[in-house]
Chains A and B, each alone.
Chain A
């Protein structure tokens, strides 16, 4: 069984529990053991873009020390924003020995100094590069035939250049995953568009406008569901859909799933073990997907 250090991040322990639960279910079935890092801390959620703001990368350094304490050289993330922040901050720190040394000075309470050698990976990369689509197909017991799926990448999984899991403008990793599960990936225009992110707190109207467009485009393309990899995107274009319906005339809703939940359904795992509790999604499943 392959073992890998796992960094959950704040939201996978709160509103995004279903993502973590379904990820454990599918990786377990694929023979991958995710070992949660001890005493991890929040990644900061956004990579600091201010060149002189070294201090905001300190959260990443401490997490990387935790990975090295486990004797690991790789760390797995599920949340797109954790992936983006940890990966970029890690590369920013490790690319400059002076910066690495400066940040390590703040780690005076740690027994280890960070070496700069940990690699940050996303589960989608692991599935594509280590497991492989053929091995995944072999685990599919319930092919999702006839189910049309819109893959939503958003921002953090692909941008900016060098930070993503796949091509900047034409990623295919989620579509390849969807195909491997027997479902049909749809081609649609909003898959790389931002959901509005943290403006969900101060600017609901922005989120509603984005969600209306993103969901509308997915439905126009004939999708039955949207899959994604970010608990903030899930909140904005998934959980908030019923609020959009109150504001936008004739707004049609669509089930939104984490990609791990779709994997689990194809692998014959019960919806309850994948954290699928939304009644509308369950009703959709009983109609569209035989589990």
Chain B
């Protein structure tokens, strides 16, 4: 049972870490939704970027950390470029990924990629995927 809006010490610690890694103040967000409206990958996300920021404000860090959203974001910087409050949302999502990756929890499982597909992917895709999705 999740108690909405409860800022326990462990939640506050994770949020501090996110703000320290990203140097972004998530409390600046006033929920206009521009980031989600312009996100090209929103269809594959389970929570929208503006919802992720709202949940962080409410202290619901576990919900955000376990979402697909943080891994689907490919840092195209559309949201960052257009946020009227100047919030660098791409950096917040990177910090959330880093919180997971620094516990050695990888998102990309190379064993699940079929051999015949491995050979044809460009180097640039491998390097960027491994940089973004593994620790």
Residues of A with Cβ closer than 8 Å to B?
9-11, 14-16, 42, 44-46, 48-53, 56, 79, 81, 154-155, 159-161, 168-169, 192-194, 196-203, 205-206, 209-210, 231-232, 235
Most chain A beta-carbon neighbours within 10 Å: one of B23, B120, B122, B133: B122
Secondary structure dominating the interface of A: loop
Tell me, yes or no, whether B4 is within 8 Å of chain A by CB: no
Cα of A9 to Cα of B124 in the assembled complex, Å: 9
For the complex formed, measure the closest distance between the CB of A155 and the CB atoms of chain B, giving whole angstroms.
4
Q: Closest 5 interchain pairs by CB?
A: A194-B76, A49-B94, A198-B129, A159-B77, A198-B128
Most chain A beta-carbon neighbours within 10 Å: one of B113, B124, B133: B124
For the complex formed, measure the closest distance between the CB of B93 and the CB atoms of chain A, giving whole angstroms.
8
**Are B124 and A203 in touch, CB under 8 angstroms?**
no
For the complex formed, measure the closest distance between the CB of A126 and the CB atoms of chain B, giving whole angstroms.
22
Q: Which residues of A contact B74 (CB under 8 A)?
A: 194, 196-199
Cα of A227 to Cα of B73 in the assembled complex, Å: 25
Tell me, yes or no, whether B70 is within 8 Å of chain A by CB: no
Most chain A beta-carbon neighbours within 10 Å: one of B80, B107, B129: B129
CB-based nearest B residue for A13:
B123
Q: Which residues of A contact B77 (CB under 8 A)?
A: 155, 159-160
Cα of A119 to Cα of B22 in the assembled complex, Å: 26
Query: Given that A51-B22, A169-B81, A232-B124 are contacting pairs, would A201 and B113 also be in contact in the complex, using a CB cutoff of 8 Å?
Result: yes
Q: Which residues of B contact A79 (CB under 8 A)?
A: 124
Query: Given that A44-B131, A159-B80, A203-B72 are contacting pairs, would A235 and B125 also be in contact in the complex, using a CB cutoff of 8 Å?
Result: yes
Secondary structure dominating the interface of B: helix
Tell me, yes or no, whether B15 is within 8 Å of chain A by CB: no
Cα of A88 to Cα of B128 in the assembled complex, Å: 16
**Are B122 and A231 in touch, CB under 8 angstroms?**
yes
Residues of B with Cβ closer than 8 Å to A?
20-23, 40-41, 43-44, 72, 74-78, 80-81, 88, 90-91, 94-95, 98, 107-108, 112-113, 120-129, 131-133
**Are B129 and A201 in touch, CB under 8 angstroms?**
yes
Cα of A192 to Cα of B39 in the assembled complex, Å: 12
Q: Which residues of B contact A206 (CB under 8 A)?
A: 41, 44, 72
**Are A49 and B22 in touch, CB under 8 angstroms?**
yes
**Are B128 and A45 in touch, CB under 8 angstroms?**
yes
**Are A50 and B122 in touch, CB under 8 angstroms?**
no
For the complex formed, measure the closest distance between the CB of B45 and the CB atoms of chain A, giving whole angstroms.
10
**Are A201 and B108 in touch, CB under 8 angstroms?**
yes
Query: Given that A50-B21, A161-B81 are contacting pairs, would A232 and B125 also be in contact in the complex, using a CB cutoff of 8 Å?
Result: yes
For the complex formed, measure the closest distance between the CB of A212 and the CB atoms of chain B, giving whole angstroms.
12
For the complex formed, measure the closest distance between the CB of A61 and the CB atoms of chain B, giving whole angstroms.
17
Q: Which residues of B contact A53 (CB under 8 A)?
A: 21, 98
Q: Which residues of B contact A11 (CB under 8 A)?
A: 122-124
